[in-house]
């Protein structure tokens, strides 16, 4: 490449566009790495500084020759060359000035497909557990910082959950004593029951939270690096340091189903009772079921329709109503209202059924959650002589990723008999006796 002593006169004499039709660099003989870039297609001429650092060539544009004087350009070049000499990559330094908080905001705006709940959970994860880094430049977060904070998050969450359980137990115990002093025996017993449940509650170890927070940080960093590779290497490289998370297998066993069903039917809350039974006999997810409106239930056509916007898979779910669930829905419909499972909550419907599950656990010793009932349904369905494709359709799982699976189309009527088979098997396992004189109708395949 051409080299010459750069002066105001020699710079002014450089022809732009260059006669070669290609971009040409003219390097200064006095200041190594300082030069003028001349366009091959336009009249643009600009001062640049260039140096190899960490095995990569870095070129920084200082300014246009018709805007920046040669003297000022030399001063700027010396500053950048000083950074290079100290091992500082000016481009990475400049790219890394964006703070974690600013990049998080950009990420959440750019990710259009994120559900509102997912978007909120990502923000809560970063702002709640990485708040001390929110105003730090993203590039200043190191691998060592990530590893240490990963452990700290788990310990902090575990300690907070233990304290919360202890505090709840003490609160309900105090209320029980106050009720006893006033002679309110039933209220005291109810409060004592809640205190006992709080003491027995499985506390959060914090490991899942810690893993999830770092996964969000990794995604945010990758988002920033994709737009500006100069930001550097992603520090979230925990590899063998990720906390092991075993797949959950808890469900209501075959042996426990009669006692579980009986305890559910004896719940004082009709909403809690019917909500849990719907989860058990439909296998639907907690929020999908809780947010059901009567406009989603076609009692005449015996179909439950959950919109795609409410499902985890973002696929609509049309479920045939089996005889058990249909009878339950008919009884509930007579109560009126907008929601199938109304509650005195901000949303207007049931939100958190932990108390109802706690009452069942107190009566039977069977401690499960909403998703455990989904496992119970799927386990029962797998033993009900239905095909794997029918089972996937009933729980709204993908029918498969191979080409053939994409051709399979299942109509609601195709699922009526498989759904009823699962229902019949569940009733049998729950020891539900059919009313005398009832003849079960079977669809003809």
pLDDT, residue 434, reads 67
Residue 162 contacts residue 203 (beta carbons within 8 Å): yes
Residue 365 contacts residue 375 (beta carbons within 8 Å): no
pLDDT, residue 424, reads 95
pLDDT, residue 85, reads 82
pLDDT, residue 442, reads 42
405 Cβ neighbours under 8 A, 6+ residues apart: 398, 399
- If DSSP codes are grouped into helix, strand and coil, which group holds residue 318? strand
pLDDT, residue 256, reads 95
pLDDT, residue 339, reads 95
C-alpha–C-alpha distance, residues 220 and 108, integer Å: 9
Give the CA count within 13 Å in the CB-facing half-sphere of 342.
Answer: 9
Instruction: Go through the domains of the chain in sequence order and give each one's CATH number.
Output: 3-94 (3.30.160.390), 101-241 (no CATH), 257-429 (1.10.443.10)
pLDDT beneath 70: ranges in the chain: 1-2, 54, 89-96, 200-204, 400, 402-405, 407, 434-445
Token look-up 């017993």 returns: 189
C-alpha–C-alpha distance, residues 164 and 354, integer Å: 15
pLDDT, residue 94, reads 59
Sign of the C-alpha dihedral, residues 365, 368, 373, 374? negative
pLDDT digits (tens, 9 = 90+) for 327-355: 999 999 988 889 999 998 889 999 989 99
Tell me, yes or no, if the pTM score tops 0.85.
Answer: no
pLDDT, residue 185, reads 86
Residue 412 contacts residue 320 (beta carbons within 8 Å): yes
């Amino acid at each position: 490449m051409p080299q010459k002593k750069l002066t105001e006169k020699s710079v002014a004499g450089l022809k732009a566009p260059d006669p070669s039709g290609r971009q040409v660099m003219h390097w200064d003989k006095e200041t190594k790495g300082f030069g003028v870039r001349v366009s091959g297609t336009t009249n643009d001429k600009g001062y640049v500084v260039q140096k190899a650092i960490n095995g990569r060539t870095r070129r920084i544009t200082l300014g246009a020759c018709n805007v920046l004087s040669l003297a000022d350009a030399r001063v700027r070049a010396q500053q950048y060359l000083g950074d290079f000499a100290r091992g500082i990559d000016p481009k990475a330094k400049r790219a890394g000035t964006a703070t974690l908080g600013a990049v998080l905001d950009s990420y959440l705006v750019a990710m259009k497909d994120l559900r509102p709940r997912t978007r909120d959970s990502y923000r809560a994860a970063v702002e709640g557990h990485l708040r001390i880094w929110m105003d730090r430049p993203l590039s200043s977060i190191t691998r060592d910082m990530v590893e240490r904070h990963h452990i700290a998050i788990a310990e902090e969450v575990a300690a907070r959950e233990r304290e919360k359980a202890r505090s709840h137990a003490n609160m309900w115990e105090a209320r029980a004593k106050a009720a006893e002093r006033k002679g309110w025996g039933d209220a005291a017993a109810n409060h004592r029951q809640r205190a006992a449940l709080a003491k027995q509650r499985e506390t959060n170890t914090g490991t899942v939270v810690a893993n999830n927070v770092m996964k969000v940080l990794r995604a945010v960093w990758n988002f920033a690096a994709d737009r500006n590779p100069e930001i550097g290497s992603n520090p979230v490289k925990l590899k063998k340091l990720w906390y092991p998370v075993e797949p959950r297998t808890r469900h209501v066993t075959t042996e426990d189903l009669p006692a579980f069903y009986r305890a559910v039917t004896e719940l004082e809350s009709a909403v809690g009772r019917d909500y849990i039974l719907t989860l058990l006999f439909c296998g639907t997810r907690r929020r999908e079921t809780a947010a059901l409106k009567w406009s989603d239930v076609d009692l005449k056509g015996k179909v439950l329709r959950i919109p795609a916007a409410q499902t985890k898979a973002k696929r609509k779910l049309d479920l045939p109503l089996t005889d058990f669930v249909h009878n339950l829905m008919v009884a509930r419909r007579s109560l009126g209202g907008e929601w199938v499972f109304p509650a005195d909550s901000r949303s207007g419907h049931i939100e958190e059924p932990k108390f109802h599950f706690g009452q069942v656990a107190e009566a039977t010793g069977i401690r499960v959650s909403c998703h455990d009932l989904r496992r119970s349904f799927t386990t029962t369905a797998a033993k009900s002589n239905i095909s794997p494709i029918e089972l996937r359709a009933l729980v709204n799982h993908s029918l498969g990723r191979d080409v053939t699976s994409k051709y399979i189309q299942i109509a609601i009527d195709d699922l009526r008999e498989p759904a009823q088979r699962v229902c019949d098997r569940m009733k049998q396992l729950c020891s539900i006796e059919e009313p005398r004189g009832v003849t079960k109708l079977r669809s003809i395949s």
